[in-house]
């Protein structure tokens, strides 16, 4: 399968992770266990990251950001206030999971999000100009990501929400979440990501698919009134 055909199917094989912090490396290990080829990039040259990647995420490959961006699926796992360091040209047309969060009490106030009524993911999507952004993987702790996974079909399997404006991109992300060991629940358009941002009931808890669907439905009237 060519790289282009892989990107337009539900069967991504390469995962590019931008960011090598706790979230990025936990996600890399989980993706490796699920059988994906994993590429990790930071703002540093790949050669400077190679040893760290080899020790912390054995099996993953340290690459330049452009190589990570060329993967079938790209995950943004950098601190949100650094989103402007991303290269929109590299990510144009790519399926991008926004796993970042704006949480002012913890990370400080950032005017880009305080003064904009949109969700943080909508702001990021506008900056990335053409990336197929899907909000997900932001409401599970990095340690939980490697501990809470369960086989498909188990009634107690934890669910993760996703939101995006591109149905095909969401289908790819749903398949990825399932292979990581979680049920995927579509919350709707990208703006619906507000229902699982920090301080929400979804963000602060662990839920099955049915519980998560109920919480998303409960949040919709609140979002409409905002």
Q: What is the DSSP string of 113-125?
A: HHS-SS-HHHHHH
Query: Considering Cα of 194, then 197, then 202, then 207, what sign does the dihedral take?
Result: positive
Q: What is the pLDDT of residue 61?
A: 98
Q: What is the pLDDT of residue 104?
A: 87
Short-list 1, 27, 28, CA closest to 12? 1
Q: What is the pLDDT of residue 10?
A: 60
The structure tokens 């909508």 sit at 122
The C-alpha atoms of residue 80 and residue 19 are separated, in whole angstroms, by: 11
Q: What is the pLDDT of residue 222?
A: 59
Query: Considering Cα of 102, then 103, then 106, then 108, what sign does the dihedral take?
Result: positive
The C-alpha atoms of residue 67 and residue 81 are separated, in whole angstroms, by: 23
Helix (H, G, I), strand (E, B) or coil at 170: helix
Question: Can you read off the two tokens belonging to residue 13?
Answer: 């094989």
Contact indicator for 18, 68 with CB cutoff of 8 Å? yes
Q: What is the pLDDT of residue 106?
A: 81
Question: Can you read off the two tokens belonging to residue 52?
Answer: 């760290």
For residue 173, the cross-strand partners are none
Q: Does the model's pTM come out above 0.75?
A: yes
pLDDT of the chain, 226 residues: tens digit per residue: 334 433 434 678 999 999 999 999 999 999 999 999 999 999 999 999 999 999 999 999 999 999 999 999 999 999 999 999 999 999 999 999 999 999 888 888 999 999 899 999 999 999 999 999 999 999 999 999 999 999 999 999 999 999 999 999 999 999 999 999 999 999 999 999 999 999 999 999 999 999 999 999 999 865 555 5
Q: What is the pLDDT of residue 6?
A: 38
Output Rg (C-alpha) for the chain, integer angstroms: 16
């Amino acid at each position: 399968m060519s790289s282009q055909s892989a990107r337009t199917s539900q069967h991504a094989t390469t995962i590019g992770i931008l960011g090598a912090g706790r979230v990025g490396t936990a996600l890399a290990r989980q993706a490796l266990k699920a059988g994906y080829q994993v590429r990790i990039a930071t703002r540093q040259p790949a050669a400077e990251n190679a040893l760290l990647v080899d020790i912390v995420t054995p099996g993953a490959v340290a690459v330049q950001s452009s190589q990570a961006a060329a993967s079938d699926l790209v995950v943004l796992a950098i601190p949100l206030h650094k989103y402007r360091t991303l290269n929109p040209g590299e990510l144009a047309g790519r399926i991008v999971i926004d796993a970042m969060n704006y949480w002012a009490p913890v990370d400080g106030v950032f005017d880009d999000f305080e003064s904009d009524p949109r969700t943080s993911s909508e702001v990021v999507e506008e900056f990335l100009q053409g990336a197929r952004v899907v909000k997900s993987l932001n409401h599970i702790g990095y340690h939980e990501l490697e501990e809470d996974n369960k086989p498909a079909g188990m009634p107690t399997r934890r669910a993760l929400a996703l939101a995006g404006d591109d149905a095909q991109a969401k289908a790819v992300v749903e398949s990825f979440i399932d292979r990581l060991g979680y049920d995927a629940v579509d919350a709707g358009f990208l703006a619906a990501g507000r229902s699982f941002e920090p301080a929400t009931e979804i963000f602060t808890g662990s839920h099955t698919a049915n519980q998560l669907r109920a919480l998303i439905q409960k949040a919709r009237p609140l979002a409409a009134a905002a």
